[in-house]
Structure 1
Amino acid sequence: MLRATLRGFLAHKGRLLLSALAVVLSVAFVAGSLIFSDTVSRTFDRLFAATSADVTVEPRQDLTSAVPTGVVQTVPADLARRLEGLGGVAAAHVDVAVRDAVVVDAAGTPVGPTTGAPTIASNWEPTRRSPVRLTSGRAPHGGGEALLDADTARYRGVRIGDVLTVQAQPGSFRVRVTGIATFTTTNPGSARLFLDTPTAQRRLLGSTGRATGISVDAARGTSDTALRGRVEAALGPGRYDVRTAAEHAKSAAADLGGFLKVIKYVMLGFAGIAVLVGVFLIVNTFSMLIAQRTRELGLLRALGADRRQVRRSVLTEAALLGLAGATLGLAAGVGLAAGLIRLLSAFGMNLRTTDTVVAWSTPVAAYAVGVGVTFVAAFLPARRAAAVSPMAALADAEVAGVGRPLRVRAAAGAALGAAGAAALAGCAASGRAATAASLLGAGVVLTLVATVVAGPLLVRPLIRVLGGAFPALFGAVGRMSRRNALRNPRRTGATAAALMVGLALVAGMSVAGSSMNRSFDRRIDRTLGADFIVQNRNFLPFPAEVTARVRGTPGAGVVVRQRFAAVAVALPDGRRVETTASAYDPRLDDVAHLTYASGGTGAALAAGHVAMDAGFARGHGVRPGSVLPFEFQGGRRARLTVGALTDQGDTEAFGVQGGLFLGLGTLERYVPGTPDAAVYVNAAPGTAPALLRSRLERALAPYPQVQVRDQADYKKLVHDQIAVLLYLVYALVGLAIVIAVLGVVNTLALSVVERTREIGLLRAIGLSRRQLRRMIRLESVVIAVFGAVLGLALGLVWGLCLQRVLALQGMTALAIPWGTIATVVIGSAVVGVVAAVLPALRASRMNVLTAIAHE
């Protein structure tokens, strides 16, 4: 049986090729994502381990914010002198580093990465753990000199002697490049500018008495842990974050881990889609191969092979296919990871492919996916093969199950569909976002499985409708193509299912994306009353001189500043919520249209007061006049009175709990020096908005990081951010469609082989090659459109339920992208035509007499 299995596998290797491609794609994305993330993690682990001081002292990070606040937390610089006197300390020095500096050249062009990585301005304090070393020129001395890293200098064409402008929160200043510093380890992609320590403290932090951290080197014979204990004892417990080199490296790696997880999960998402769609392809392939080998299997049974041996033979073929696909996929995964590493290098993150890490878990995962998926997908066809009766097979009957009624599928599909429909109905009726999201997930899975199971039941009624015009348009060829699609509902349903999965995702996410866009548009139209908003490109706060330029622009009327602050509030129900609060100038009503359930803007922005979303307040027992304990960054505490409750209804849509805002005076009292994050501007009476815009853009030309936006620009900005998510989904769907095309090609190719004799007879009675190709194309088109119709119907239901979940977060508008849906249907027909090209060409080239003689 083993020899027979191997011969059977090798005899059909061409027919199994497309199934193997699905396995290769699945495994490649799994292996590539694991290799890439392991390589980047290992590289940065080495970087952080090599550059972390024995002990670091940093400000305690007490609060976090979903929105950048621009507040740089610091420690007293004289801690370095205090710590140098401790036993076991070899040296202690001041660290100054800010991540939101902007550096521009003489032409006003930003000198920094274009990938979103920060430009880090810091003090030049070379030690044995420095990530860079001076390779040309000299170190900076005095307020007008700086070093630049070699990668940035090369990419931006900066040379020694060039003058740069540095824009930091305390203000802008000019420096001359006196030297170039080269990274001794991996360049993480950021731009690095170095100043001497007093200049860095004064220019970046506003005071020579402050530092962003203290690095402490241990004396010989003193362990990092022992030194940390002495430092903590000297500084007092809980005042600062004191970490050893290992702890600091682990913390830095954890911060990077979020970025790596996004990439890893995106790639694993591609792998998951490839696996899901590939299952349909493999099931179809083995089902058809077994149907075509009926006589061969019957002969084996007649020669003494029992059902177990036949089943084992088919599963062995599947395992061989999985092994071959997994091996090729693992190799492709290594290449994919290398390509990603090179792509990062092109964007300034200089990883080396020679450092590629292939952990033992990667091959294990690759072969588990490749062999496991193929084995599972082939199990049902193997059972059908084992059920072949020797006499029936020798009499050339069909495989058991092909002609069997679909009663079991109908019952299973109805049960799963009912459960899925109940879950989706519960989602639509739920009043809690978390509950609705859970029900949505369950409903999506159940309805998807139900549609796959019951798909063959829908083949005959739908394809009769979808192909109803074929006889009138194409005559006998159209009639035969429709009958071919109806001939085996199981096969047609499985072939269309692969396309259905991808298009259901497109429809569902398109409804969600369009609804989010419309909801944000309504929010902007309803609340934004300013003519223009001045903001940083990356939403980072900007220097105060930007606001001064805006105020000084001729024609600028009302100017309202906005700042952000990380806060924690203790609520009456016992919960402590960390969130982000906004702070505004008193004339907020001139640039925004807010509605209030209680109080007004004056009460909200009064000293010692705060405004809160009415729904959030109700949920936590807060009432107008409630006095709540607040904590700001730096450990500053306050008791603020709830002066107003807003009734905007969609504060949660922006990912910030509570809808808190307060006056700038109140914020300045507890977090002084918070930089502006946005400036809202109205044109003065008699000044046309278009004229004001041109003046603002000229005034802000030296600050390329900020943009002047009107309402239309702001809407486009939100749409672009939502589009990023949709593009990811469309990329996933693109992969699904590629595999679905392979599935249609495979089905048609095997169907042509199965119908060789029939095709020969049709040619013999007068069917031309052109008509034969058209018949196969029409069959492919109707199958593809059938899958599209199922997918769109399912996706629209998912999208409507997803919109209900979004409505609980405040995004209440519903929008259905009919243009996208029409494009999908047309695209599906094109997919059908493309998938039929090779099978139709092969069928048309058959020798008529050879085809008629085929058994």
Structure 2
Amino acid sequence: MTGMLRLTLRSLRAHALRLALSSLAIVLGVAFIAGTLMFTGGMRTAAYAKAGVFDRHTDVAVYPADGGSNNPRDRKAVDETVLAKVRAASGVRAAEGEVTGTGGVVGTNNRPVLGYSVVSSIPTDPGLQSYTVRQGRLPQRTHEVVLDTRTVDKQKFAVGSAVRVGGKGSQAEAYTLVGVVDVAGTPKDFGGAFIGLVAADALTVTGEQGYQRIVAAGRPGVSHDALAKEVTAAVGPGLTVRTHEQILDDNLKSAIKDIQQFNAVLTMFAAISVLVAAFVIANTFTIVLAQRTRETALLRLVGATRGQAFRSVLLESSAVGFVASLAGVGVGAGVALGMQALLRAMGVVFEGGIALSASTVVLSVLLGTVITVCAAVLPAWRGTRVPPVAALSDAAVETARRAGWVRLGFGALSLAAGIAALGFAGRSSSIATVGAGAVFTFAGIVMFGPVLVPALVRALGWPLRRLLGATATIAVSNAVRNPRRIAATATALVIGIGLVSSFVVAAQSVKAGIERSVDKEVGVDFVATGVGGALPAPMVDELRGRRELGVVHLPRQTVSNQVEVVSAHPALVRTNLRHVDSGDVRQLGAGTALVYRPLARAKGLTVGSAVTVAGRQFRVVAVVDGTTGPTDPSENVPLGYRISLSDADFSATFPDVPVVMAAMDPAAGVSKQRAKDAIEAITAKYPTANFMDRAAYKKMLTGTVDMLLAFVTALLGLAVVIALVGVANTLTLSVVERTRENGILRAVGLTRGRVRAMLAVEAVLMALVGALLGVGLGTAVSAGAMSFLNGMGGEFAVVLPWGRLALILGFAAVAALAASVLPARRAVNRPVVEALGTE
């Protein structure tokens, strides 16, 4: 055993260069894992530090019975009566109500400050104040305001100046800026402005009817538990009282939950990179062990058993995996910093640096080592099964074994099943069908690869053979001489490029669908949307009163008795209709309704029939067929069960449904610029409204898709890089394997330039085949996803972004050329005589 250990260590030193090639894939794969853990670890550390930033002096808090937290989306409230009871408790030194909601600030350019802005009440009692003041002071009376440092810096506000602040219920009013606070990275930082007001002003601006919680500080010597008991007795049943410790626990749980969800997303991408690395490692070990067949055979002849040879290889792989994983942890710090830079560039708000813990190191190293050993098991088993005599009689290279009929048969079945699943995704009610189709299609490519990949290499190599002659012919022959090897190399690229392509095609298809939907269903020149909530009612009334506007439509929808009810405008109602079965849609007005065909057939409704909506009767003026769009599955609305009412009737029937958007067109004879000026004159007074033209509205809706695509592409980029490392590994090890062959070619007149060209062509062919298969797989998966969305009521068509797909293929080709540089240098720098003497 000791002798085999010494031989293993000598083998590691002797083949260090070859094993270093496989270690690079491990380094990158582990770096993603370690970087993810460091990044989320830093976020977690920051979450612990920030969990109680606004409750440093809160001893107890009172919530509505099912509120349980200070989540701004929880709109249940407690009133002044409860506040008075809390203040009356003997152990309470100070108590104030707290409200959080949405509002807005008008910037120095007389336009609303963009972003989701938070309005929060700030206690006036110094014993309850927990804000970090950078300039000035906190508000003490009405019409005083504090803003966050980011907003003040960007807008060049000065302490003591007037700042206009508004909410969803009224237009902006002037407030005196008395201070600047730091809320960066806290639960009250949503990327927009932070607006701090006294409670009375906060209630007015947010439109809330009461406090979301009451915070209280106890008298000296009163414990938190004792104070909680006193407050509970004072307020009576029906409310929840939580201590300081419980509040911090709730805040921390909420923050950690968000981090865990984000970590799950990053871990998924890390797993993809690790999977690609495993493919590269397994292929590299297969080639390395095949080239050491003679060495293994000699060990067997002098007495080493198969088990000893097998364990020796696994020991090598564990050593390589351990060292490479340690290096991967170091590179992971750079990956973590890159993730932070990427998110900051995308405008994502987060706090924290990177945190390297012992558990991160142990987990990353252990995982990297285990993956390396597992990837080496099958090559090691194959490498030690070769009989010693047969190995000694061979030229010590891997034999090109054909794929068995069983493998090819299962591959064909898997490929057919995957394509069928993607084709029938539109008839499925589960997105899992698309996922299953992707998995089966990829598995089919893997199993069918030894036949499919060489065939594609020959097809792509045909024009190169015509162009470069013998050089390209030799390159194609070298590439396909071992079908399993090139198939494994290409497969690693299929994973990364397939995923990138699927997101690229899906993003372009979704963007095109959104733009068509805006043109068809909105169909106006201008749009105003509420920021974080409904549009202010006075603003809507002002818009309706402007003569420059011929159309002011308020799109809304709700569900009543398993029927989707939508608001419509007579001038725009035709925009989303495919066909009018009967009646006249222009008659839509007070007391009338449009009924969609599926509902009309199910309920026996025709033109002139009476239909009841939420207890009110309407006369059907038309039966139509049009786009319905997907509805919330929880509402259990059959597809096409839709009724359209006029804006006025919808408002009267469903007064509680908020107006979050206004769609506007100029009046007849009014220019677009004049109509735009009229709208801006109104919206400038309401900072919670975002006004834009149709093009800007499309860009806003599709901007999230672009941002998500950039994020996903950046994360998947590492998987593609690892796969390209596999191309370089295969090429380098093939050069080592063909040292004598290359020497013969150079001896008979092949120039150094042609050797480099030969290896470049071989690398490009390997990369392009993998990239083409990846693009094909990604496009098929995207088509399946679009079909699924259409089956759910959407209207999406597959749109191929030819420019981006060509860029992906071009990147693969250029990267492959770069990967061929070092192997080519090794091939041409070795003296011909020395190469001819190599066995």
What TM-score, normalized to structure 2? 0.85
- Tell me, which stretches of 5 or more residues in structure 1 are unaligned? 573-580, 629-637
Deviates more, 1:774-783 or 1:249-258: 249-258
2-structure distance, mates of 1:809, 1:744:
41
CA deviation string 1:165-206 (max 9, x = no partner): 112123211122223345699686454332233333344437
Quick one: which amino acid aligns to residue 365 of structure 2? Y
Equivalences for residues 719-730 of structure 1 within 5 A: 719-730=702-713
> Which whole-Å deviations, capped at 9, do the CAs of 1:229-269 have from their partners, x for residues lacking one?
6656665655x565444444444445545653453234223
- Taking the aligned partners of 2:23 and 2:571, their CA distance within structure 1 comes to 64
- Tell me if 1:267 matches 2:269: no
- Equivalents in 1 of 2:369, 2:618: separation in Å? 61
What is the distance in 1 between the residues matched to 2:808 and 2:517? Answer: 30
Aligned counterpart in structure 2 of residue 474 of structure 1, from 450, 468, 471: 468
Matches within 5 A, 1:558-637: 558-562=551-555, 584=567, 587=569, 590=572, 593=575, 595=577
Q: What is the rounded CA distance, in whole Å, between the counterparts of 2:708 and 2:14 in structure 1?
A: 45
Among residues 403, 406, 422, which one is paired with 1:406 in the alignment? Answer: 403
Matching residue within 493, 501, 526 for 1:532: 526
Distance 2:603 2:435 in 1: 28
- Name the residue aligned to 2:629: 651
Q: Does 1:842 align with 2:839?
A: no
Q: Which of 707, 722, 725 is matched with 1:739 structurally?
A: 722
Moved more, 843-852 or 728-737: 728-737
The residue matched to 2:551 in structure 1 has which SS? strand
Task: Map 1:539-554 onto structure 2 (within 5 A).
Answer: 540-548=533-541, 550-551=543-544, 553=546
Q: Report what 2:773 is aligned to.
A: 790
- Give the match for residue 503 of structure 1: 497
* Residue 422 (structure 1) aligns with: 417
**Does residue 761 of the first structure (1) align with residue 766 of the second (2)?**
no
Residues 1:170 and 2:169 are matched in the alignment: yes
List aligned pairs for 1:105-144, cutoff 5 A: 105-108=107-110, 116=115, 118-126=117-125, 128=127, 130-134=129-133, 136-144=135-143
Q: Which residue of 2 aligns with 1:76?
A: 79
Matched, 1:512 2:511: no
Q: What one-letter code is carried by the residue in structure 1 that aligns with 2:551? A: V
Q: Which position in structure 1 is the counterpart of 2:12?
A: 9
Structure 1 pair 486/181, CA: closer, same or farther in 2 (3 Å)?
closer
Equivalence for 1:771: 754
Structure-2 residue corresponding to 1:57? 62
The 5-angstrom pairing of residues 100-499 of structure 1 reads 100-108=102-110, 116=115, 118-126=117-125, 128=127, 130-134=129-133, 136-150=135-149, 152-154=151-153, 156-171=155-170, 172-182=172-182, 189-190=189-190, 191-205=193-207, 210-218=210-218, 238=238, 242-257=241-256, 259-261=258-260, 263-337=262-336, 351=351, 353=353, 357-358=355-356, 361-398=359-396, 402-407=399-404, 410-419=405-414, 421-422=416-417, 424-426=419-421, 428-429=423-424, 433-435=428-430, 437-499=431-493
Residues 618 and 381 from structure 1, CA distance in 2 versus in 1: closer, same or farther, beyond 3 angstroms?
A: farther
The answer on whether the counterparts of 2:418 and 2:439 sit within 8 Å (CA) in structure 1 is: no
Say if 1:605 and 1:449 are closer, same or farther in 2 by CA, change over 3 A: farther
- Asked whether the 8 Å contact 2:185–2:351 carries over to 1, the reply is no
Q: What stretches of structure 2 of length at least 5 have no aligned partner?
A: none
Q: Which amino acid aligns with 1:487?
A: R
Shift of 1:370: 0.6
Whether 1:854 aligns to 2:838 is yes
**8 Å contact kept, 2:504–2:801:** no
Moved more, 322-331 or 477-486: 322-331
Shift of 1:308: 1.0
1:833 — aligned with what?
Answer: 817
Please give the alpha-carbon distance, in whole angstroms, between the structure 2 residues aligned to 1:612 and 1:235. Answer: 51
Partners of 2:603 and 2:231 lie apart in 1 by 42
Amino acid paired to 1:406:
A
Q: In structure 2, give the amino acid aligned to 1:216.
A: A
Q: Is the 8 A contact 1:75 1:211 kept in 2?
A: yes
Change (3 A) 1:278 1:180: same
Amino acid at match of 1:373: I
Task: Classify the secondary structure of the residue corresponding to 2:166.
Answer: strand
Partner-residue secondary structure (3-state), 1:44: helix
> Helix, strand or coil for the counterpart of 1:178?
strand
Distance 1:557 1:478, change over 3 A: same
Shift of 1:368: 3.6
The percentage of counterpart residues that share the same residue type is 32
Matches of 2:365 and 2:834, distance apart in 1: 41
Give the match's secondary structure for 1:766: coil
C-alpha contact 1:423 1:439 (8 A) present in aligned 2: no
Q: CA separation of 1:724/1:180 partners in 2, compared to 1, >3 Å: closer, same or farther?
A: closer
Amino acid at match of 1:83: V
Shift of 1:656: 9.0
Letter in 2 for 1:844: V
The letter of the residue matching 2:387 is S
Counterpart amino acid of residue 661 in structure 2: A
Task: Give 2:178's aligned amino acid.
Answer: T
- How far off its partner does 1:395 sit? 3.0
2:424 and 2:185 mapped to 1: Cα distance? 56
Residue aligning to 1:634: none
Following superposition, the deviation at residue 477 of structure 1 comes to 0.9
Tell me which residue corresponds to 1:27.
30
Change (3 A) 1:206 1:38: closer
The aligned counterpart of 1:575 is none
Q: For residue 547 of structure 1, what is the amino acid of its counterpart?
A: V
Task: Pick from 805, 811, 830 the counterpart of residue 794 of structure 2.
Answer: 811
Name the SS for the 1:75 alignment partner. coil
Q: SS state of the match for residue 651, structure 1?
A: coil
| Segment of structure 1 superposing worse, 779-788 or 650-659 | 650-659
Alpha-carbon spacing, 1:544–1:836, altered in 2? closer, same or farther (3 Å): same
Shift of 1:373: 1.6
The verdict on how the C-alpha distance between 1:198 and 1:470 changes in structure 2, with shifts beyond 3 A counting, is closer
In the TM superposition, residue 500 of structure 1 has moved relative to its aligned partner by 1.7
**Structure-1 separation of matches of 2:445 and 2:196:** 61
- TM-fit CA distance, 1:412: 2.6
Q: 1:187/1:653 Cα in 2 relative to 1: closer, same or farther (>3 Å)?
A: closer
Question: SS of the counterpart of 2:119?
Answer: strand
Residue 289 (structure 1) shift: 1.2
Q: How far apart are 1:544 and its partner, in Å? A: 3.8
Q: Does the 8 Å CA contact 1:342/1:351 hold for their aligned counterparts?
A: no
Distance 1:603 1:721, change over 3 A: farther
SS at match of 1:652: coil
Change (3 A) 1:610 1:92: farther
- Other structure's SS at 2:386 match: coil
Query: Does structure 2 retain, via aligned residues, the 8 Å contact 1:428–1:805?
Result: no
- In 2, distance between residues paired with 1:34 and 1:621? 60
